Amino acid sequence: MDILNKFKVLSSYSGLELVEDIDCQLNPNTRKNSISRAVLPNGKIIKLAKTLLTSACERNCYYCPFRAGRNYQRETLSPTQLANLVYSMHQSGKVEGIFISSGIAGGGQRTQDLIIETAELLRYSHGYQGYLHLKIMPGADYDQVLRMMQLANRVSINLEGPNQVTLSKLAPHKSFYSELIIPLQWIETIRNTLPNHMGWNSRWPSSSTQFVVGGADETDLELLDRSESLYTQYKLSRVYYSAFNPIKDTPLENHPPVNPTRQLRLYQANFMIRDYGFRYEELPFNKDGYLPIDHDPKTLWAQMNLMDTPVEINTANKQELLRIPGIGIKTAQRLLKARRIHKISSIEDLRKQGLQSNRFFPYILLDGKKLPRQLSLV
Ligand code: SF4
């Protein structure tokens, strides 16, 4: 098989872990593409290729198509082959960014060295300036994590489960703390203690992780509790959730697939924590620790907390505005700005500031008055 076809095989597996692409998260069909549209933290949209250096792996995670011993055709590219190919694709405009991960062969540190070698070839032999997302392998050491952070725009470590107990049901040979949490601590320590000019283009990379949702019977409460601590303690930019889908000829092949709406609800709750100032304890979990599937969690929270104490749009602070369904960061900022010029006293005023849906009607006061009930049902 020639190098380009190997690349296509290594890049096309639909379960390839972490993606930046918001479309990909919500539309599994697009994940079959080896190049997809990715939204970067600064809002820029790029063509991102996602690939593995090798689909051979010596570990045996229960959900993974690449697990050791599974009958599956393995492909491998050398660092030179992958760097040359990515660079030529970048030069021709086919890709603007690359995410490099790998199966583990010869230990986590040896595999990490191959990813670092690929990145160094790209950055220093080819002068590649494009977006580079590098995966940190379980077992990587501190010096390797630092080197990755000097080469990448983003680094990631997939936790897969929210704690050791659930991780063990997915990946029996991964150590939650020593292999996964400790490197996340190193990333944040490096960002806080070493000067920015040591990072790529004088910036330290952002960091992210991913959970497999529903493969280990973990609860939403466990996932969101851990997500909150990842944002607050380790300053992750994103936590991704990937709904479990069983893969034939793996130990979890008979485990039921997860309803994709659960993944959507987790993302909605995740944004409440990351962007709107909610604590995970405030979210509307049921008694078993799951978010209801039928409604978005922000609306459910508002039904329980704002029906009797609606928020006055003309005096609420930003955090209070952000708790109202239908109001996101941009809309809250626009309302605060508009309020400095004139009182907001009508639905038309709200529409002008970007509130298009009617979800917020039952939860607000306009100049001390609730909106008429018939309006709230429009
Ligand atoms: S270490 Fe990664 S590639 Fe290897 S079996 Fe586990 S999830 Fe799959």
Span 9-36, pLDDT tens digits? 777 653 333 334 333 333 333 344 556 7
Q: Whose structure tokens read 């400095």? A: 340
Q: Is 361 in the pocket of ligand 1 (CB under 6 A)?
A: no
CA distance 265 to 270: 8
Share of the chain above pLDDT 90, in %: 77
Element (H, E) at 23: helix 22-26
Q: At a CB cut-off of 8 Å and minimum separation 6, what does 285 contact?
A: 219, 220, 221, 291
CA distance 250 to 230: 30
Share of the chain above pLDDT 70, in %: 92
Q: Is 104 in the pocket of ligand 1 (CB under 6 A)?
A: yes
**Domains along the sequence of the chain with CATH:** 3-282 (3.20.20.70), 306-376 (1.10.150)
Looking at this protein, which amino acid is placed at residue 173? H
CA of 154 to the centre of ligand 1 (A): 20
Q: Whose structure tokens read 């697990």? A: 67
- pLDDT tens-digit readout, 72-81: 889 999 999 9
CA of 356 to the centre of ligand 1 (A): 44
Band of the pLDDT at 373, cuts 50, 70, 90?
Answer: low
Q: Environment class of residue 202 by beta-carbon count within 10 Å: exposed (0-12), middle (13-18) or buried (19+)?
A: exposed
Residue 330 has φ and ψ, to the nearest 5°, of -65, -45
Band of the pLDDT at 193, cuts 50, 70, 90?
Answer: very high
Q: Is 61 in the pocket of ligand 1 (CB under 6 A)?
A: yes
- pLDDT tens-digit readout, 116-146: 999 999 999 999 999 999 999 999 999 999 9
pTM: 0.89
Q: How long is the chain?
A: 378
pLDDT at residue 19, rounded to an integer: 38
Contact 234, 188 (CB under 8 A): yes
3-state secondary structure of 307: coil
How confident is the model over 261-274, as a mean pLDDT?
Answer: 97
- Ligand 1, closest atom to CA 55? 3
Q: Environment class of residue 98 by beta-carbon count within 10 Å: exposed (0-12), middle (13-18) or buried (19+)?
A: buried
Band of the pLDDT at 46, cuts 50, 70, 90?
Answer: confident
CA of 227 to the centre of ligand 1 (A): 22
Instruction: Decide if pLDDT at 160 tops 50.
Output: yes
Q: Is 174 in the pocket of ligand 1 (CB under 6 A)?
A: no
Of 18, 64, 167, 168, best ligand 1 pocket probe by most atoms within 8 Å of the beta carbon = 64
CA of 247 to the centre of ligand 1 (A): 13
Using left for φ > 0, alpha for ψ between -120 and 50, and beta otherwise, residue 231 falls in: alpha
Of 103, 92, 107, whose CA–CA distance to 49 is shortest? Answer: 92
- Ligand 1, closest atom to CA 103? 3
CA of 81 to the centre of ligand 1 (A): 22
Q: Is 171 in the pocket of ligand 1 (CB under 6 A)?
A: yes
- Ligand 1, closest atom to CA 67? 5
Of 170, 172, 185, whose CA–CA distance to 223 is shortest? Answer: 170
CA of 293 to the centre of ligand 1 (A): 30
For atom 6 of ligand 1, the residue with the nearest CA is 61
Of 13, 57, 245, best ligand 1 pocket probe by most atoms within 8 Å of the beta carbon = 57
- Ligand 1, closest atom to CA 160? 7
Of 66, 72, 102, 249, best ligand 1 pocket probe by most atoms within 8 Å of the beta carbon = 66
